[in-house]
Amino acid sequence: MPPTEQRIILKFADQPGYANDIECYLRHGGYEMLHKAFDMEPGDICHEVELSRLRGRGGAGFPAGMKWKFLDRKSGKPIYLICNADESEPGTFKDRQIIHKDPHQLIESMMIAAYATGTKLAFVYIREEFPEGALILEKAIEEARAANFVGPKILGSDYSCEIIVHRGAGAYICGEETGLIESLEGKRPYPRIKPPYFPAVLGLYQCPTIVNNVETLCNIKHIIEIGGEAYSHIGTPAATGTRIWCVSGHVRKPGYYEFAGGAITLGELIYDVCEGMRPGRKLKAVIPGGSSAKVLRADERFHGHLKDHTSFDWGLKDIPLDYDSFMAVGSMSGSGGVIVLDDSVDMVEALANLNAFYAHESCGQCTPCREGSLWMKKITSRMCSGEARSEDADLLVSISKQIEGRTICAFGEACSWPTQSFVAKFKDEFVAKASEAQSQATGSENGDRLI
Amino acid sequence: MTGRDDNLISVFIDEEEFLVPPGTNMVEAARLAGKEIPHYCYHPKLSVTGNCRMCLMELGMPLKDHSTGEPIIDRRGLQKIGWMPRPAIACATRAFPGIHIKTDSELVRECRNGVMEFLLVNHPLDCPICDQAGECSLQEYAADYGRGYSRFVENKNVKPKRTRLGPRVMLDDERCILCSRCIRFCKEIAKDDVLGFVDRGSYSTLTCFPGKDLQNNYSLNTVDICPVGALTSIDFRFKMRVWFLKETPSICAESSVGVNTHIESREGKIYRITPRRNDEVNDTWIPDSGRILYKSIDTDERLIHYTIDGSHTLVDGAAKEAATLLREGAVAVVGSGRASVEEQYLLGKIASAVKAISVSLVSRTGDGDGLLVSADRNPNVRGALLTGLITSLPHANLGGLASAIESGEVRTILSFGEDLTQCGVEKQLLEKVNVIYFGSHCNETGEVAKVVFPTLTVFEKAGTFINQQFRLQKFLPAVPGPQGVLPDIVSLGKLCSILDGEAIPPTGPEGVWAEMNTEIPQFSAIDFENIPINGILIDGSQWEHLPFIEGMSLHYDPDNNRQIMAEVTKSK
């Protein structure tokens, strides 16, 4: 028996007959938590969120309650809430499900968050590639406004708040919160330097701003429902609540699966939940948290100590699905996009693919990422077209080290970690590419080239 | 911290303590400490974007115990420093008490080497044909942080090589390192937001917004601040290697702002004018219109001979003849707001020696742009006030002079550089009187003049101007004047000494200042040599009631200036 999902966020999403209109949502108890929240003090809601130890689901895993706490409330400037629906990390497709199938859950949670933070104007920044999702959200917000859940004097109170859906223009970097803010302001989405532009102090229009991921926000409603304390008992203490894992790649049953933090292992996810590898194929590697997370080898063993000082000795399959375990094995749970690669994959080609993506998506603002990402792409593309050199592997790593930690935003890490981990863990394939190229050049093996 | 300036805080740069004003960014703090932190995108007069990453440094802060708030002390008895694991950019790091930075550690050098390599991978390396060569940050830092060989074997990006951004600025996109200085300049200083990037990543390209041109009167400043050879001046490109150019400090004579400049010349020929930084006047900027003023100095219209009734003579002959005419009395003197303080002083002396019945100045006005071109296009009206040449502000029209000639009241006119036919005195009228003309270029007044003294332009002589702030600023000769033409001070001095019988006429501004600083109280204790390169404020409170026509500009606010004057008075 495969482990059964614990669906909280996606509880109704895939139930037969469950529609994304407000009637259906109300029939399933929708907006009751908004009523409940409005009976609470905003400060108490923030406190509950803090108690829940909810961590961000967008990639960095930053505690949401802490983020809210950093809000500069003394400035007297308006506070903005932005829902980051720019889900662009390759391998991630959870927010899309929520938006398409249960948009009112997001709206209700956003309104609770807005009320708790004192926001008068909230935004959903949705990626250009979700045109359908944007329409669904706009329709849902219209419905919610008609029912007085959004807009002026919500539920008859003195509190008013609007939600505006803003569509992106197709840039990965708009998922970076300060890039998103710039884009929302109508500028090129160049991420801002931090310090001084921390969104909680100098965010949208230089006002205090909260940027939360879709899935993160959806949890707010459930925290209100059961209370922060109770919520914190779901999952492990460092990974409270559930997480939606998006599994793609060479498994029999790719898809999105919701589990409590740390409830299952990577092996259970791949072999039980996703029913294992395609016939006749063997697991080769896993990228656990969206394409920028460091790749893990199927035959690796991981030793070390967790944050609570307990030691571990895991194979790939033994890694529990939570933030800290993936950190402990040198990667990250990131956006929850688990990309499974089987033995048919040429790792150099796989890296060339990722490098092409990051070179294409580098915004070009700061030097290391702008020049480094394209350079790495040019190298891996060349390696894949039969012109690999023996020094390329080391050169790739050296370039990536010159990017990592030296850029304005985390894109520097995002584009350098794949290269670092692919070369470190599959160096043999990079070396083989070079000797292959050499032997083809001299024609010593397998006769003439066909192309 | 006793005995120290309370406004300063201590920062530790490479373990050495320095005092800097709070909030100073670390590039400037290091500069104050005599250390250079390399940078491309940072510019002291523009907003900070932190995109080039060249100024990465190690940042540490003194540690405090979280629970007690007490400093954590290490074994040496010093407060422990928590070094950040990631390097930080110096341009966006502001000084706070006890901040520690490392500007020369292994990590820092590694960061710089990395950025340097990245900047060069797609750079065309066409230094031999690049105008920036010799004053290029890429070249300079490549010498310090470059690898010396390239690890890059791929094809470089191809971008447009010749884009005319506007009438004066050419863009080579392949050389551009995307530092965004030009974009920020247009937006923040010129207030003409026309530049931006298109495309993404390494293919990002600088361009003008559709339908827009970079044509504002400050466009060439983008060329100055471009750290590489991406933006070049259409006027200057391919004309001269910059290392051959001699820089002479000068003052722009375009308006009463008194923009500080460098005249860049080689072998007696000026090739370009660039701004000279003065944080009290023009920061690091200059209007495009001020950069081309030198173009008129080498024309056929230049006056190059001392003449009496059209026949060539020498300066002494001209001076003697002029003195004879002036001694006959009924003299009107027309001075110039373009003349230097020294010239105006000597002119004033001549006027009083011959008991001139009128002394006037011709005004030149235009619209002020609120930045570095003021409404008063005479650079030195205030000099004329201080030297006592005039006591009220000049008029554009010399109608009074015309009627005085008509009535026979005036029989001799001494005009210093002004074409009287341009300000209400007809040529036919001038023919009725004796005209003594000092000027650099031919004009109708010169044509009718009985005695002509050729003069030098601001680029060819030394002197001082007093700008709208009452700031005394000096300029030095960049190129020699036409052969045989003596400095105006010498001509005027010779004439002056004939008239008042003084034995030794001054030969340069130093001599005039030796006299002025005893005669004019506001100039006391000033010698020409000791005027600071950034100028010095003169007490002009005596004239503050005059209706000066300048409005607000970059570092000038008419109302505020009265207060500044009051403070200058008090300090005296």
Name the amino acid, one letter, at B379: P
- Judged by CB atoms closer than 8 Å, whether chains meet at B201 and A363 is answered as yes
Is B247 inside a domain boundary? Answer: no
Is B246 inside a domain boundary? Answer: no
Nearest-Cα residue of chain A relative to residue B51: A366
Nearest-Cα residue of chain A relative to residue B50: A193
Query: What's the token pair of residue B534?
Result: 């950034």
Residue at a domain's end among B192, B209, B239: B239
Fold of A237-342: Ubiquitin-like (UB roll) (3.10.20)
Give the predicted TM-score (pTM) of the model.
Answer: 0.94
Give the torsion sign (CA, A98, A100, A104, A110): positive
- SS3 (DSSP) at A248: strand
CA-to-CA dists, residue A253 to A55, A271, A336, A344, angstroms: 28, 10, 16, 17
The residues facing B475 across adjacent strands are: B463
Partner residue facing B114 (CB), from A196, A389, A402: A402
Could you tell me if B100 and B132 lie in one domain? no
Residue B2 has pLDDT above 50, yes or no: no
Could you tell me if B26 and B162 lie in one domain? no
Helix A427-442, helix A411-425: angle, nearest 10: 70
ipTM for the predicted complex = 0.93
Q: What's the number of domains chain B is made of? A: 3
The pLDDT of residue A443 is: 58
Query: What's the token pair of residue A287?
Result: 């990228």
- Judged by CB atoms closer than 8 Å, whether chains meet at B202 and A190 is answered as no
Residues of A in contact with B111 (CB under 8 A): 406
Could you tell me if B540 and B472 lie in one domain? yes
Cite the beta strand spans of A116-241 per DSSP E: 121-126, 162-167, 209-213, 235-236, 239-240
Residue by residue, DSSP assigns B27-50 as: HHHHHHTT-PPP-SS--TTS----
Residues 6+ apart with CB under 8 A from B546: B385, B392, B393
Is B298 inside a domain boundary? Answer: no
- SS3 (DSSP) at B61: strand
pLDDT one-digit tens code per residue, A69-91: 999 999 999 999 999 999 999 99
A306 compared with B321, residue with greater pLDDT: B321
Q: Is B95 on the interface with A (CB under 8 A)?
A: no
- Residue A57 DSSP label: S
Q: Is B204 on the interface with A (CB under 8 A)?
A: yes
Nearest-Cα residue of chain A relative to residue B57: A406
pLDDT one-digit tens code per residue, B169-214: 999 999 999 999 999 999 999 999 999 999 999 999 999 999 999 9
Partner residue facing A368 (CB), from B115, B122, B199: B115
Partner residue facing B202 (CB), from A171, A195, A371: A371
- Judged by CB atoms closer than 8 Å, whether chains meet at A406 and B56 is answered as yes
Mutate which of A365, A377, A398 to test chain B, going by most B C-beta atoms within 10 A?
A365
Query: What's the token pair of residue A248?
Result: 């793609």
Is B296 inside a domain boundary? Answer: no
Partner residue facing B53 (CB), from A362, A368, A398: A368
pLDDT one-digit tens code per residue, B413-472: 999 999 999 988 999 999 999 999 999 999 999 999 999 999 999 999 999 999 999 999
User: What mean pLDDT is reported for chain A?
Assistant: 95
Beta pairing class for B434-439 and B451-454: parallel
Is B548 inside a domain boundary? Answer: yes
Task: State the distance between the two ends of chain A, measured CA to CA, in whole angstroms.
Answer: 49
Percent of chain B with pLDDT over 70: 99
Residue B332's pLDDT band, with cuts at 50, 70 and 90, is: very high
Mutate which of A182, A367, A416 to test chain B, going by most B C-beta atoms within 10 A?
A367
Residue B301 has pLDDT above 60, yes or no: yes
Could you tell me if B513 and B466 lie in one domain? yes
| CA–CA min distance A358, chain B (Å) | 9
The pLDDT of residue B569 is: 82
Residues of A in contact with B87 (CB under 8 A): 405-406
Q: State the maximum Cα–Cα separation within chain A, in Å, rounded to a whole number.
A: 82
Lowest-confidence segment of A160-164, A200-204, B66-70, B253-257 by average pLDDT: B66-70
Mean pLDDT computed over B108-116: 97
pLDDT one-digit tens code per residue, B9-35: 999 999 999 999 999 999 999 999 999
Could you tell me if B440 and B479 lie in one domain? yes
Cα–Cα distance measured from residue A401 to residue A413, given in angstroms and rounded to the nearest whole number: 9
- Judged by CB atoms closer than 8 Å, whether chains meet at B199 and A364 is answered as yes
Reported as half-sphere exposure (CB side, CA atoms, 13 A), residue A191 has a value of: 26
- Judged by CB atoms closer than 8 Å, whether chains meet at A359 and B53 is answered as no
Task: State the distance between the two ends of chain B, measured CA to CA, in whole angstroms.
Answer: 31
The pLDDT of residue B500 is: 84
H/E stretch holding B16 reads strand B16-20
Mutate which of A366, A391, A411 to test chain B, going by most B C-beta atoms within 10 A?
A366
Query: What's the token pair of residue A351?
Result: 């890296």
Is residue A88 within 8 Å of residue A127, measured between CB atoms?
yes
Helix A392-403, helix A427-442: angle, nearest 10: 140
Task: Pick the closest to residue B551 from B541, B543, B561 (CA basis).
Answer: B561
Cα–Cα distance measured from residue A196 to residue A94, given in angstroms and rounded to the nearest whole number: 32
Could you tell me if B155 and B107 lie in one domain? no
Could you tell me if B360 and B438 lie in one domain? yes
Cite the beta strand spans of A42-133 per DSSP E: 80-85, 121-126
Mean pLDDT computed over A139-151: 97
- Judged by CB atoms closer than 8 Å, whether chains meet at B200 and A361 is answered as yes
Could you tell me if B159 and B56 lie in one domain? no
Residues of B in contact with A407 (CB under 8 A): 53
Cα–Cα distance measured from residue B180 to residue B39, given in angstroms and rounded to the nearest whole number: 13
The pLDDT of residue B1 is: 39
The CATH number that applies at residue B539 is: 3.40.50.740
From the number of C-beta atoms within 10 Å of its C-beta (0-12, 13-18, 19+), residue B311 rates as exposed
The pLDDT of residue A440 is: 78
The pLDDT of residue B69 is: 84
| CA–CA min distance A360, chain B (Å) | 7
Residue B7 has pLDDT above 90, yes or no: no
> For A22-233, CATH number?
3.40.50.11540
Partner residue facing A363 (CB), from B85, B119, B200: B200
pLDDT one-digit tens code per residue, A417-447: 999 999 999 999 999 999 988 887 765 555 5
Mutate which of B117, B158, B199, B209 to test chain A, going by most A C-beta atoms within 10 A?
B117
Residue B395 has pLDDT above 90, yes or no: no
Which value, in Å, is the radius of gyration of the alpha carbons in chain A? Answer: 23
- Judged by CB atoms closer than 8 Å, whether chains meet at B202 and A364 is answered as yes
Residues of B in contact with A361 (CB under 8 A): 200-201
Residues 6+ apart with CB under 8 A from B436: B322, B325, B326, B412, B413, B414, B415, B449, B450, B451, B453
Residue at a domain's end among B207, B239, B271: B239
- Judged by CB atoms closer than 8 Å, whether chains meet at A188 and B118 is answered as no
Query: What's the token pair of residue B343?
Result: 């010239």
Mean pLDDT computed over A387-397: 96
Cα–Cα distance measured from residue B382 to residue B362, given in angstroms and rounded to the nearest whole number: 13
The pLDDT of residue B201 is: 95
Is B249 inside a domain boundary? Answer: no
- Judged by CB atoms closer than 8 Å, whether chains meet at B202 and A373 is answered as yes
Partner residue facing A405 (CB), from B86, B117, B200: B86
Within 393-452 of B, beta carbons closer than 8 Å to A belong to none
Within 378-397 of A, beta carbons closer than 8 Å to B belong to 378-379, 382, 389, 395
Name the amino acid, one letter, at A217: L
Is residue A136 within 8 Å of residue A142, measured between CB atoms?
no
Residue B503 has pLDDT above 80, yes or no: no
Percent of chain A with pLDDT over 70: 98
Cα–Cα distance measured from residue B351 to residue B413, given in angstroms and rounded to the nearest whole number: 11
| CA–CA min distance B33, chain A (Å) | 24
Q: Is B83 on the interface with A (CB under 8 A)?
A: no
The residues facing A235 across adjacent strands are: A240
CATH tag for A347-437 (out of 3.40.50.300, 3.30.70.600, 1.10.3720.10, 1.20.1440.230): 1.20.1440.230
- Residue A290 DSSP label: B
Is B279 inside a domain boundary? Answer: no
User: What mean pLDDT is reported for chain B?
Assistant: 94
Query: How many contacts (CB atoms, under 8 Å) link A and B?
Result: 102
Partner residue facing A367 (CB), from B118, B196, B203: B118
- Judged by CB atoms closer than 8 Å, whether chains meet at A366 and B50 is answered as yes
The residues facing B16 across adjacent strands are: B13
- What range does the domain containing B434 cover? 306-566
Partner residue facing B52 (CB), from A196, A361, A367: A367
Residues of A in contact with B51 (CB under 8 A): 190, 365-367, 408
Query: What residue segments make up the domains of chain A, in order of their start?
Result: 22-233, 237-342, 347-437
Residue by residue, DSSP assigns A231-266 as: HTTSEETTEESEEEEEEEESBSS-EEEEEETTSSBH
Could you tell me if B513 and B454 lie in one domain? yes
The pLDDT of residue B4 is: 52
Is residue B217 within 8 Å of residue B287, measured between CB atoms?
yes
Partner residue facing A195 (CB), from B92, B110, B202: B92
Residue B66 has pLDDT above 90, yes or no: no
Mean pLDDT computed over A17-45: 96
The pLDDT of residue A445 is: 52
Could you tell me if B90 and B185 lie in one domain? no
Give the torsion sign (CA, A178, A179, A180, A182): positive
Could you tell me if B482 and B554 lie in one domain? yes
Partner residue facing A366 (CB), from B53, B153, B199: B53
| CA–CA min distance A270, chain B (Å) | 35
Residues of A in contact with B200 (CB under 8 A): 171, 360-364
- Judged by CB atoms closer than 8 Å, whether chains meet at B201 and A370 is answered as yes
Could you tell me if B103 and B133 lie in one domain? no
Is residue A406 within 8 Å of residue B56, measured between CB atoms?
yes
Residue A451 has pLDDT above 80, yes or no: no
CA A206 to chain CA centroid, nearest Å = 25
From the number of C-beta atoms within 10 Å of its C-beta (0-12, 13-18, 19+), residue A170 rates as exposed
| CA–CA min distance A170, chain B (Å) | 12
Residue B554 has pLDDT above 80, yes or no: yes
| CA–CA min distance B167, chain A (Å) | 27
Residue at a domain's end among B239, B261, B280: B239
A449 phi, psi to nearest 5 deg: -75, 150
- SS3 (DSSP) at A167: strand
The pLDDT of residue B5 is: 60
Query: What's the token pair of residue B242?
Result: 């910059």
Residue by residue, DSSP assigns B200-251 as: -GGG-EEEEPTT----STTTHHHHHH-SSSSEEETTTTTT--GGGPEEEEEE
